[in-house]
A and B are shown apart, each in its own frame.
Chain A
Amino acid sequence: MTRKEIEKRCREEMQQTIPDKEALWERIESRLPEQQPVQQTAGKRSHIQMMAFARIAAACLLLVIVGAKSYQMFQKSLHSAKPDENQSYFTAEGSSEEEAAEESPKGEYDDWDVQYGDAAEENEGIAAPEASTSDEKKPLHYSDLAVPGSGSIHLSVPLKAPEGSYFSEADVLKQTECFVDVIVQDGAQEPDTGAVVYSMEVVDCYGAEVPENSLTIVSDTPYLLEIGHEYVLPLRQTEDAAWALTDACAPQFERTQDGKVLFQSGWYSLMTEESVPVLCDSRGTDDYFYDRMYLTGYAELEAFLREWERQL
């Protein structure tokens, strides 16, 4: 059997169709809501817009009335020989109740307050779903984080992530033998291979033990580790018993000095409602993560690593 014949055989076998397609559609149709959610949103939006319009119109009307009254007062003051009369104008002394109500700016403001208050309350209720977007975490910038000053490694040859490489949490967890908490002591690019040789001080270990207190890792990750910064790195042992980054195509966990950890969104197990987005400066067109970074408590990462360790 040729490869094509095998594929044909598979295709034939995968030709199962829904036994009763029409009945299934009827089932789906019966469960569709009468009113489509998008329409509801549109309805809400138009209601919100109408309320906003009404408020603007009321404000304009008020301005016109107040303006007209002010102008009238100004005219009166110009033509009046008795300034006291102007004073009594606002107190509505000697004028009818109707006139007082009509003329009193305070009364109009009272009405406006009531109207505005009601509208505000109503509007608050309507706008709640949209307002929820403002509850979303405001992004921080990397420069806002409690990390040591930058100690960038000079590159004479630019590094690029290997073509077609994707980060996969499951794969990394599967291939990783240990996660090490390290502080980068030094780093330099090898002129011949372009890879960077990092020297690190080991702070902590999860999974397999790294025998030494210091570690040397050679990596061509374009997401450079900064000298003096603290990272948690997933490592695996190579054939020649050296330690290497399990995944070099994405940024590593970076610890901050205030007990947080910066991670990229591919670590979906760490993504919670508490995760705060962090914008980093792009390292260039091949940087796929500068706007996919998040901050969480180090305790979250520690719990995650302990669980991983337990399942080893």
Chain B
Amino acid sequence: MTDAEFEAAVGKVTAGDKTGLRDLYDAYADTIYRLFLGKVHNHQDAEDLTSDFFLKLWECAAGYRPGRGHRCWMMTIARNMAIDYLRKAGRTVPVEDAEAVSPAALTETQTAADTVTEQMQTEGILSVLPEDEQEIVRMHIAAELTFREIAAILKRPLGTISWKYRNAIGKLQKLAEEGSLL
């Protein structure tokens, strides 16, 4: 969806026309769902959050200011919702804990390699990355956000985002070379 198409849909939403929201839903429901899924790791919760997201969009569409990049705006809302949800559920995973599963540390022993394999089987290859790197990879690949947009959403320096992304892909590449990537 282009910015112009998005603005047209938002215009409909603010006028109370449900077809505007349907247009947004058709264009972004899967992307938003994937982002939520990456955060909450549960299909039902991701679906609930997706539903809440579009209801929120219905309420706050008038707050959208054209020219600011609609994907960035939507992803910020989605991310905040996911964070709120995790906080309420008491499921915030500290970055340190997530980093404890770093491939560099795990591939040293056979047991660790097994853990990585098992983790990848159940949660996908991104699960071997720290939470913050997973999020950046998801935003860049699944939501097709630019590094600049991700930096704005995560309020991190642009250089940090691109470095973390390269680092994440590099880790997966290393696992692939070692034959540990499923």
Contact = CB atoms under 8 A, between A and B. Distances in A.
Q: Do A and B bind each other?
A: yes
A174 to B, nearest CB: 9
B181 interface: yes
Nearest to A41: B62
Interface in B22-56: 22, 25, 29-30, 33-34, 37-38, 43, 47, 50-51, 54-55
B25 A17 contact: no
B141 interface: yes
Interface stretch (A7-15, A132-140, A193-201, A288-296): A7-15
At the interface, is chain A mostly helix, strand, loop or mixed?
helix
A24 B16 contact: no
Contact of A164 (B138, B155, B158): B158
Contacts of B50: 18, 24
B84 interface: no
Contacts of B58: 32, 36
A21 B29 contact: yes
Contact of B172 (A10, A35, A166, A171): A10
Nearest to A174: B95
A31 B30 CA distance: 20
B176 A36 contact: no
Nearest to B171: A6
Given A24-B50, A28-B25, A28-B54, A6 B173 contact: yes
A38 interface: yes
A168 interface: yes
B169 A7 contact: yes
B11 to A, nearest CB: 11
Nearest to B165: A7
Contacts of B29: 18, 21, 24-25
A3 interface: yes
A11 B59 CA distance: 31
A13 B62 contact: no
A21 B46 CA distance: 12
Given A10-B141, A36-B15, A3 B59 contact: no
Interface of A: 1-3, 5-7, 9-11, 13-14, 16-19, 21, 24-25, 27-29, 31-32, 35-39, 164-168, 171, 266
Given A13-B126, A14-B141, 4 more contacts: A164-B157, A167-B155, A168-B154, A168-B155
7 contacts: A14-B141, A16-B30, A17-B30, A18-B30, A24-B50, A29-B18, A32-B58
